[in-house]
């Protein structure tokens, strides 16, 4: 035990943060209403056995005893999340409650099948949790039927394709360059290999979906499924217009709300539920629950979707993740979550506006969602997305390079950067802090060299700003 105290004591100050930061955390409105997120332990916990090393929600003493290398990496990752600002639009910080549920003994349980109809004995407790996850999801999104077992968003989409397509059938979706996703028919993905695919695009002048072009392409291509829902699209989607195009060619409509599940649940983005035939989503992005995917549909397709998830595309469900989904959905049903989702969108708008004031060009001129897509070609013609990503990372701002509509560089280099507000909003950011963040992003990208190198003074000063913001908006304390 003494060894353990010695081992972790050097990091205690850093992991606890300053007293002032802890006090500020207590007054931080969003986080103080979500006690699980900001009450993640101090790194050490007194128990009857002694002192246990904790890393956020997870006790690490047993891991350290067996595998110090992994314990070090787990601890370092939590510290990385605490000491940097996460701007990757698809990421978030799950609560202690969600993390604990995912780290539970459910990881041991095989539960092939569905509640009440399993292929294994001993499923009464996983049945309880899967039923809770399903009922909460139905309430959150207003769906008739929800399958909560997909291991990921891609597996959720796979289940829908298995339900309505035969190999060789046709998918129409937004091109990857314009904000689509690999699992919507890209040649590198099984969807592009099993199915014939065609793309629609955003209007090059406005950056909004070209709904008329989509309809024309649908009429020419005659798809079996039209996919909507995107990875890098900053505007609200007009689901009805896409449904009308699908109806015109007698195709199914799959709305993949992976990124905006939380915004749709909170009513800050229109819902495709009740419009599209199938709605899929990720559960770990804006809705901030356990990691994985979901499929929603009406009763007519319920049995087919369930069979497509299991046994069609998956084996035993990851019940520990289903437990994380149930807990995260419970949190999302509380009024504080609606405030959070509104603030995510307000922060993204503030970020886009301030960056535009700094001379940046957000695709479509701004955002209605949780993300801003910066097209650097006009404002910073010599700076690639890759260089910007590197420069931002060097000062603790974690974003991702991204292709932009009409991209001229390779997907590994790109001309854009995608920045999102879900994770910083979980830390408690409101507009004022978001403006500081935008100023920091602008300063870094303005100064970034060809390889993402930064002048020393910029690196030093912006790193200090990031440290200050992390301390004022602490995480997993």
Dihedral sign for Cα atoms in the order 72, 73, 76, 77 = negative
The distance of closest approach from Cβ of residue 256 to ligand PLP in the complex, given in angstroms and rounded to an integer, is 5
Dihedral sign for Cα atoms in the order 165, 170, 174, 176 = positive
Rounded distance between C-alpha atoms, residue 217 and residue 206, angstroms: 19
Question: Which one among 28, 81, 100, 231 touches ligand PLP, defined by CB under 6 A?
Answer: 231
Residue linked to tokens 């960056």: 355
Residue linked to tokens 């081992």: 7
Long-range contacts of 272-277 (CB under 8 A, 24+ apart): 272/228, 272/229, 272/237, 272/239, 273/141, 273/142, 273/143, 274/142, 275/239, 275/240, 275/243, 276/228, 276/239, 276/242, 276/243, 277/164, 277/252, 277/253, 277/301
Residue linked to tokens 């419009």: 275
Whose CB is nearest to ligand PLP? Answer: 153
Tell me how many helices (H) and strands (E) the chain has.
Answer: 21, 17
The distance of closest approach from Cβ of residue 88 to ligand PLP in the complex, given in angstroms and rounded to an integer, is 10
The distance of closest approach from Cβ of residue 59 to ligand PLP in the complex, given in angstroms and rounded to an integer, is 27
The distance of closest approach from Cβ of residue 66 to ligand PLP in the complex, given in angstroms and rounded to an integer, is 29
Question: Which one among 34, 174, 209, 258 touches ligand PLP, defined by CB under 6 A?
Answer: 258
What is the pattern of x (binds ligand PLP, CB under 6 A) and - over residues 47-76? ------------------------------
Q: Does 229 bind ligand PLP (CB under 6 A)?
A: yes
Nearest residue (CB) to ligand PLP, 90 versus 386? 90
Dihedral, CA of residue 225, residue 295, residue 402 and residue 468, to nearest 10: 160
What is the pattern of x (binds ligand PLP, CB under 6 A) and - over residues 175-214? ------x-x-------------------------------
Dihedral sign for Cα atoms in the order 339, 258, 429, 41 = positive
Which residues between 423 and 442 bind ligand PLP (CB under 6 A)? none
Strands 252-256 and 225-228: parallel
Rounded distance between C-alpha atoms, residue 157 and residue 154, angstroms: 5
Nearest residue (CB) to ligand PLP, 81 versus 283? 283
The distance of closest approach from Cβ of residue 3 to ligand PLP in the complex, given in angstroms and rounded to an integer, is 39
Note if the bond before 59 is cis, omega within 30 degrees.
no
Nearest residue (CB) to ligand PLP, 165 versus 458? 165
Nearest residue (CB) to ligand PLP, 132 versus 237? 237
Binding footprint of ligand PLP, residue count (CB under 6 A): 14
Rounded distance between C-alpha atoms, residue 466 and residue 439, angstroms: 11
Question: Which one among 173, 228, 282, 314 touches ligand PLP, defined by CB under 6 A?
Answer: 282
Rounded distance between C-alpha atoms, residue 356 and residue 385, angstroms: 17
Dihedral sign for Cα atoms in the order 401, 284, 13, 438 = positive
What is the pattern of x (binds ligand PLP, CB under 6 A) and - over residues 143-162? ---------xxx--------
Dihedral sign for Cα atoms in the order 268, 269, 275, 277 = negative
The distance of closest approach from Cβ of residue 425 to ligand PLP in the complex, given in angstroms and rounded to an integer, is 18
Contact segment (CB under 6 A) with ligand PLP among 2-10, 204-212, 254-262, 419-427 equals 254-262
Nearest residue (CB) to ligand PLP, 93 versus 443? 93
Count Cβ atoms below 10 Å from residue 13 Cβ, excluding itself. 10
The distance of closest approach from Cβ of residue 476 to ligand PLP in the complex, given in angstroms and rounded to an integer, is 22
Nearest residue (CB) to ligand PLP, 60 versus 148? 148
The distance of closest approach from Cβ of residue 156 to ligand PLP in the complex, given in angstroms and rounded to an integer, is 8
Contact segment (CB under 6 A) with ligand PLP among 125-133, 141-149, 251-259, 438-446 equals 251-259
Contact segment (CB under 6 A) with ligand PLP among 101-109, 127-135, 229-237, 440-448 equals 229-237
Residue 100, token pair as written in the block: 């604990």
* Residues engaged in binding ligand PLP (CB under 6 A): 90, 152-154, 181, 183, 229-231, 256, 258-259, 282, 293
């Amino acid at each position: 035990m003494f060894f353990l105290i010695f081992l972790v004591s050097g990091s205690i100050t850093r992991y606890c943060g300053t007293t002032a930061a802890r006090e500020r955390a207590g007054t931080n409105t969003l986080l103080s209403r979500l006690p699980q997120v900001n009450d993640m332990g101090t790194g050490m916990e007194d128990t009857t056995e002694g002192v246990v090393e904790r890393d956020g929600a997870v006790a690490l003493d047993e891991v350290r005893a067996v595998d110090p290398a992994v314990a070090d990496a787990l601890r370092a990752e939590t510290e990385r999340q605490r000491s940097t600002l996460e701007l990757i639009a698809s990421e978030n910080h799950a609560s202690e409650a969600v993390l604990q549920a995912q780290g539970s003994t459910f990881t041991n349980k095989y539960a092939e099948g569905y509640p009440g109809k399993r292929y294994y004995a001993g499923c009464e407790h996983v049945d309880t949790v899967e039923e809770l996850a399903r009922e909460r999801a139905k309430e959150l999104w207003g769906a008739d039927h929800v399958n909560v077992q997909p291991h990921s968003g891609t597996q959720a989409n796979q289940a829908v394709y298995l339900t309505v397509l035969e190999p060789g059938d046709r998918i129409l979706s937004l091109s990857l360059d314009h904000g689509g996703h690999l699992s919507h028919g890209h040649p590198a993905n099984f969807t592009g290999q099993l199915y014939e695919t065609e793309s629609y695009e955003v209007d090059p002048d406005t950056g909004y979906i070209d709904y008329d072009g989509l309809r024309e392409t649908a009429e020419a291509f005659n798809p079996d499924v039209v996919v909507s829902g995107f990875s890098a699209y900053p505007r609200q989607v007009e689901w009805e217009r896409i449904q009308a195009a699908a109806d015109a060619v007698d195709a199914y409509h799959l709305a993949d709300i992976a990124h905006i599940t939380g915004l749709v649940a909170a009513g800050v983005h229109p819902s495709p539920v009740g419009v599209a035939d199938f709605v899929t989503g990720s559960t770990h992005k804006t809705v901030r629950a356990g990691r994985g995917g979901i499929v929603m549909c009406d009763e007519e397709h319920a049995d087919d979707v369930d069979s497509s998830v299991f046994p069609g595309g998956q084996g035993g469900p990851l019940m520990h993740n289903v437990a994380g989904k149930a807990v995260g959905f419970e949190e999302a049903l509380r009024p504080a979550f609606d405030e959070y989702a509104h603030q995510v969108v307000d922060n993204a708008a503030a970020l886009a506006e301030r960056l535009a004031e700094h001379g940046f060009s957000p695709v479509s001129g701004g955002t209605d969602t949780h993300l801003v897509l910066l097209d650097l070609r006009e404002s910073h013609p010599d700076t690639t997305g890759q260089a910007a990503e590197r420069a931002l990372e060097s000062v603790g701002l974690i974003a991702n390079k991204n292709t932009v509509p009409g991209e001229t560089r390779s997907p590994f280099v790109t001309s854009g950067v995608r920045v999102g507000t879900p994770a910083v909003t979980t830390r408690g950011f409101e507009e004022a802090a978001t403006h500081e963040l935008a100023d920091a992003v602008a300063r870094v990208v303005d100064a970034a060299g060809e390889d993402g190198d930064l002048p020393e003074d910029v690196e030093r000063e912006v790193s200090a700003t990031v440290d200050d913001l992390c301390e004022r908006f602490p995480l997993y304390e």
